[in-house]
Amino acid sequence: MNFKLSFHPVLSTALSRGGQYADIYAEDTTVTSIELQDGKVSQAQQAVLYGAGIRVVHDGQTGYAYTMDLSESSLKEAARFAASVSGNAVNDRKGLILPPDHFCRPASKTGKTRLPQNLDPPPAKCTAIPSHEVRELLLRLDEEARQRDPRIIRVKAALTQRIQNIQFANSLGEAYEDQRPRTALVVRIVMEQNGQTQMGMATSMMQMSADFVTGERIDSVITEAISRASFLFDAVQPQGGEMPVVMAAGGSGILLHEAIGHAFEADFIRQGTSIFTGQLGKQICSPEITIVDDGTQPGDAGHLRWDDEGIPGQCTTLVREGRLESFLYDRVSAEHFHVKPTGNGRRESFRHVPQPRMRSTYMLAGPATEEDIIRSVKRGIYAQVFTNGQVQIGAGDFTFYMKQGYLIEDGRLTRPIRDVNIIGNGPQALRDISMVGNNLLIDHSASMCGKGGQSVPVSQGLPTVLINKLIVG
């Protein structure tokens, strides 16, 4: 992809009707996926996503258009359309119009704008794993899994590779090129014991290409899938009711992401639909709790050198020692609140408008050990594995389906339990956290976050925490 010479005239066209800001986001993405079931290729796919989206902003109103034709004439046509629907149809102007200071850069003294300049050199080019190597990898995984446990009757494994090449430029003179590889491995194992069958699934996803596949990673997903299937043979459904819930480190961070994290996204704050609207600067939970949203960890699914609006990747502290310190801002919401963007402007592809989204959201470690937390509970549950859930962002109410956990009786883990719902309210659950463990674990399973019809890769993490009361049923 190479159309840098088109940046300036296209952006000039986008702002010719009085817009305050414009950007262009182009990508060339290839996705390949191979799936094996019981040693045979059951599915193989390859898709290419190629095109550019142009956004024009005027007084907080956004016009957006995209095209899969990257000729200058087609890009200008898309730019004119975006300008016409952004609510900025005022007197025509010629040339680029630099936006106000709150769009993060003042106009030059000469009144002239600069041609887009790269913010940072692009990373080294990465390459996908060849298809024949993927097939051999999955066959080896199948064989190794079956050798570990004779109860295994079926193995399904899939590896998906996505290499996304991005070019971005805006009317502030900022531009970058980036390459974002992403590889995901999904393993499903079916086991049979005494006429009963159970399925265990394990996933792993990182922003890596060929370096993703290691013996350690393969061993980890096999071990996890077998453990989850085997666990279910002995697990029972517990008696329900309101009780303390200990959230295990790692994957339980999905509750933090879904029940609380979305409510920190600034578009919901701007609309007044978040439960945290008006709470900035206030104490919302225990001083032992600090929550961050981090885009700076290389290899992490939520890692962003630059977000999809050209803002540098960064780590944003949302809650510091129990006090709400920041929301997650894209450019538009940051302009509305007169603050700096936090690097959370994300989009699924060039077909989509960026919006405030999480990256890697996690709670920092606290002072307690997991053993001390469990020992403090007379009767409750220890929640390990969640599959899905429902959340009302405005009210904060949630229901999560727990697939795997344990009863806690007299401070000890006893019987394995499965298939229960955990019901509560996100902000209240945050307030009800009374102990925070010292064992923060980031979960690198294949997590995709949906919002507004878009899906982006994320990760989440949590140390072991004690929530004093939730409804289990």
Q: Could you report the per-residue pLDDT of 374-417, keeping only the tens digit for each?
A: 999 999 999 999 988 888 887 889 999 999 999 999 999 999 99
Diameter of the chain measured on Cα atoms: 81
Which tops the pLDDT comparison, 112 or 186? Answer: 186
As a whole number of angstroms, the distance between CA 250 and CA 385 comes to 9
**pLDDT tens digits, residue range 355-377?**
999 999 999 999 999 999 999 99
Residue reference for tokens 């307030």: 431
Structure-derived torsion over alpha carbons of residues 237, 393, 280, 432, reported in degrees to the nearest 10 = -10
Q: Helices 7-14 & 72-84, crossing angle to 10 degrees?
A: 20
pTM recorded for the entire structure? 0.91
As a whole number of angstroms, the distance between CA 122 and CA 101 comes to 27
- Reading the block at residue 441, the tokens are 């674990």
Same domain flag for 255 and 387: yes
* pLDDT value for 126: 84
- Reading the block at residue 23, the tokens are 């950007």
Which uninterrupted H or E stretch holds 159? Answer: strand 152-170
As a whole number of angstroms, the distance between CA 11 and CA 167 comes to 14
Residue 428 inside a domain? The answer is: yes
Supply φ then ψ for residue 223, to 5 degrees: -60, -45
Residue 122: pLDDT band (50, 70, 90) is: low
As a whole number of angstroms, the distance between CA 104 and CA 173 comes to 11
Least trusted range by pLDDT, from 77-81, 97-101, 201-205, 279-283:
97-101
Q: Judge contact between 117 and 173, C-beta under 8 A.
A: yes
Find all residues with CB under 8 Å of 73, minimum gap 6, and list them: none
Query: Mean pLDDT over all residues of the chain?
Result: 90
Query: Strand, helix or coil at 347?
Result: coil
Q: Judge contact between 314 and 343, C-beta under 8 A.
A: yes
* pLDDT value for 117: 65
* pLDDT value for 3: 45
Pairing of strands 465-472, 420-425: antiparallel
Supply φ then ψ for residue 61, to 5 degrees: -95, 135
As a whole number of angstroms, the distance between CA 377 and CA 359 comes to 33
Q: Helices 131-148 & 215-232, crossing angle to 10 degrees?
A: 40
Torsion sign over Cα 107, 109, 113, 114: negative
- Reading the block at residue 105, the tokens are 């850069």
Q: Judge contact between 398 and 423, C-beta under 8 A.
A: yes
As a whole number of angstroms, the distance between CA 460 and CA 203 comes to 14
Last residue of a domain, one of 80, 103, 118: 118
**pLDDT tens digits, residue range 86-103?**
765 444 333 333 333 333
Shortest CA distance to 209 belongs to which of 164, 274, 157, 267?
Answer: 164
Least trusted range by pLDDT, from 122-131, 278-287, 322-331, 350-359:
122-131
Shortest CA distance to 134 belongs to which of 165, 152, 163, 157?
Answer: 157
Shortest CA distance to 153 belongs to which of 199, 213, 112, 117?
Answer: 199
DSSP assignment letter at 210: G
Same domain flag for 290 and 426: yes
Residue 74 inside a domain? The answer is: yes
As a whole number of angstroms, the distance between CA 204 and CA 30 comes to 20
Residue 219 inside a domain? The answer is: no
* pLDDT value for 108: 32
As a whole number of angstroms, the distance between CA 209 and CA 162 comes to 8
Last residue of a domain, one of 98, 118, 138: 118
Cross-strand partners of 470: 243
State how many domains the chain has.
Answer: 2
Q: Judge contact between 56 and 88, C-beta under 8 A.
A: yes
Same domain flag for 422 and 289: yes
Number of other residues whose CB lies within 10 A of the CB of residue 473: 14
- Reading the block at residue 366, the tokens are 């606290």
- Reading the block at residue 329, the tokens are 């801002």
Mean pLDDT of 165-177: 92
258: left (phi over 0), alpha (psi -120 to 50) or beta: alpha
Pairing of strands 441-451, 355-356: unpaired
Residue 186 inside a domain? The answer is: no
Residue 291 inside a domain? The answer is: yes
Helices (H), 201-273: 215-232, 253-255, 266-271
- Reading the block at residue 237, the tokens are 């459904």
87: left (phi over 0), alpha (psi -120 to 50) or beta: left
Last residue of a domain, one of 102, 118, 134: 118
Q: What counts of helices (H) and strands (E) characterise the chain?
A: 9, 22
Shortest CA distance to 311 belongs to which of 167, 207, 176, 180?
Answer: 176
The domain of 96 spans 4-30+45-118
* pLDDT value for 90: 46
Q: Judge contact between 214 and 141, C-beta under 8 A.
A: no
Number of other residues whose CB lies within 10 A of the CB of residue 419: 14
